[in-house]
Amino acid sequence: MKYSLEVSNLTKAYPGSDFRLDNVSFAVPQGSIMGFVGENGSGKTTTISCILNTLKPDSGVIKIFGEEMTEERTDIRDHIGVVFDAINFPEALTANKLASVFKDIYRHWDGGLFQHLLQRLQVPADTRIKDLSRGMTMKLATAVALSHGAKLLLLDEATSGLDPVVREEMLDLFLEFVEDEEHSILISSHITSDLEKIADYITFIHNGRIILTEDKDTLLYQYGIARCTADQFQSLDKSEYLSSRKRGFQVDVLISDKESFSRQHRDITVDNTTIDEIMLLLVKGDQ
């Protein structure tokens, strides 16, 4: 399999802080969308900053399109589109002015595509950025990210704080982007229902460590939550589940294969699960 992004053994500590990225490794296959999930402060943004080389990792290797990313490789960076939660476009500029700036910065700037995206997303081209709503600003940022020949999109909470209609428009754009099988996306989001719609893989990060990477359909259709009584839980072997969490009288148990679990334990109720619930159990539960 070819990978657009490979992160291997990435480590980064901050002086004066307990937080550190601890041996983070994962890979985004070419042509796919990887959802990147974790609580606030779990290390998502630090990881993405290291990938972009805006933060210098203590150790580890980052490969983009199979080549190692170093400070000199600005040519690789040309093919990475970025949308962050906080947008830092100069507030006094309009979308049109922005376009004339980017034309000189990006080697592969596509002005026609940018105008087309502005129209499609109904972003006013002649309004100053400071007068745009948050939704408009995020749409503008997405249009920029898609207009400079990017093959890899890094989206850090790009859809947070947006209404369902705007999010749907953005998700449409992302699915269109990966219609080209050389294109890939790494998207971090707390809105896991969005990821359940469009992501191919999900990677969970917690306390600076990757705790699970899995095929999304496997998570949604093969993983499950067993709702056990205390006695039923006692009867389980530790190897049968990934994590457990006591909730009142019941114990919720995360299992990786609900069909085989149900065959073994016909009397235990097993529910389908969601990315949110898996994260809760992995983060708050006992392993």
Taking the complex as a whole, the smallest distance from the CB of residue 171 to other proteins amounts, in Å, to 7
Q: Give the chain's largest Cα–Cα span.
A: 68
When the beta carbons of 72 and 179 are compared against other proteins, the nearer one is 179
Minimal distance, residue 200 CB to other proteins, in Å: 4
Q: Which of residues 195 and 210 has its CB atom nearest to other proteins in the complex?
A: 195
> Residue 125 CA to chain centroid, in angstroms?
29
Choice from 7, 21, 33, 253 touching other proteins (CB under 8 A): 33
Q: Does 216 bind other proteins (CB under 8 A)?
A: yes
101 binds other proteins (CB under 8 A): no
Is 34 a residue that touches other proteins (CB under 8 A)?
Answer: no
Q: Helix 111-120 crosses helix 134-146 at what angle (to 10 degrees)? A: 150
- Between 195 and 281, name the residue whose CB sits nearer to other proteins: 195
Tokens of 62: 């980052």
| Cβ atoms of residues 73 and 240 within 8 Å | no
What would you report as the CA-atom Rg of the chain, rounded to the nearest whole angstrom?
Answer: 21
Using the rule CB under 8 A, which residue among 4, 32, 188, 192 binds other proteins? 32
Residue 91 lies near other proteins (rule: CB under 8 A): no
Q: What does DSSP assign to residue 33?
A: E
DSSP assignment string, 253-270? EEES-HHHHHHH-TTSEE
Closer CB to other proteins, residue 13 or residue 220?
A: 220
Binding mask 134-173 for other proteins (x = CB under 8 A): -------------------------------------xx-
Q: Which of 71, 104, 179, 286 binds other proteins (CB under 8 A)?
A: 179
CB proximity list for 115: less than 8 A, separation 6 or greater: 99, 125
Structure tokens at 58: 């203590």
Minimum Å gap between C-beta 23 and other proteins is 26
User: Rounded to the nearest whole angstrom, what is the least distance from the CB of residue 285 to other proteins in the complex?
Assistant: 25
Smallest gap, in angstroms, from Cβ of residue 236 to other proteins? 25
Considering only 67, 131, 182, 221, the residue that binds other proteins (CB under 8 A) is 221
Check residue 197 for interaction with other proteins (CB under 8 A).
yes
How far is CA 131 from each of CA 12, 135, 156, rounded to the nearest angstrom? 38, 12, 23
Identity of the residue numbered 257? D
Give bridge partners of residue 245 from the DSSP assignment: 252
Number of residues that bind other proteins (CB under 8 A): 22
User: Given the complex with other proteins, which of 110 and 168 has the nearer CB atom?
Assistant: 168
Least Cβ distance, residue 199 to other proteins (angstroms): 6
Measure the CA–CA gap between 269 and 277, rounded to whole angstroms.
Answer: 16
Q: Look at residues 205, 200, 211 and name the one whose alpha carbon lies nearest to residue 254.
A: 211
What angle do helix axes 134-146 and 95-105 make, rounded to 10 degrees?
30
**257 sits near other proteins (criterion: CB under 8 A):** no
Residue ranges in contact with other proteins by CB under 8 A: 31-33, 171-172, 175-176, 178-181, 197-201, 215-217, 220-221, 272
